[in-house]
Amino acid sequence: MKKILFIFIALPFILVAQTDTTFNENNEITSVNVQGIDALVHKYENILKAKNGVVGWRVQLFSMAKRKLIIQEKNNFIKNYPEIPIYLTHKPPYYKLRVGNCRTKLEAIKIKNQISKNFPGAYPIPEIINFSQLRN
């Protein structure tokens, strides 16, 4: 009697819990939508749009006040590593030379290790990276 009572009490909860789950032809779960997840995903998308990008990583090569020297270093980097994107920013009084568009710090460290022979003072830094600059 207790088992039957348990089944009648538990069965509605089990059935309701599976209503948001979708299956494919092989009866494998393709998605599970828990109440509120879609709202959180939408909120996260809006935050990323407001930032105009995602938090990513770049490798900073130099930070100096003399524009002429930083341009020379930029040209030197382009000559040695044309496949790595390079960015020159200016926040008075300093010019900053940064390279790469990395989603993780590990990717930035790989670039740092790749260029460390020619640029030993390089180090990874977090930065907001525009969606269009990220490669898939």
- The domain defined by 52-133 carries CATH number 3.30.70.1070: yes
Mean pLDDT for all residues in the chain: 85
Long-range contacts of 13-19 (CB under 8 A, 24+ apart): none
- Would the pLDDT of 102 be above 90? yes
**One-letter amino acid for residue 119 of the chain:** F
How does pLDDT run across 85-96, given as a tens digit for each residue?
Answer: 999 999 999 999
Other C-beta atoms closer than 10 Å to the C-beta of 112 total 22
Q: Mean pLDDT lowest for which of 1-15, 34-48, 67-81?
A: 1-15
Q: Give me the percent of the chain exceeding a pLDDT of 90.
A: 54
Higher pLDDT, 106 or 27: 106
User: Domain map of the chain by residue range?
Assistant: 2-49, 52-133
Residue 45, φ and ψ in degrees, nearest 5: -60, -40
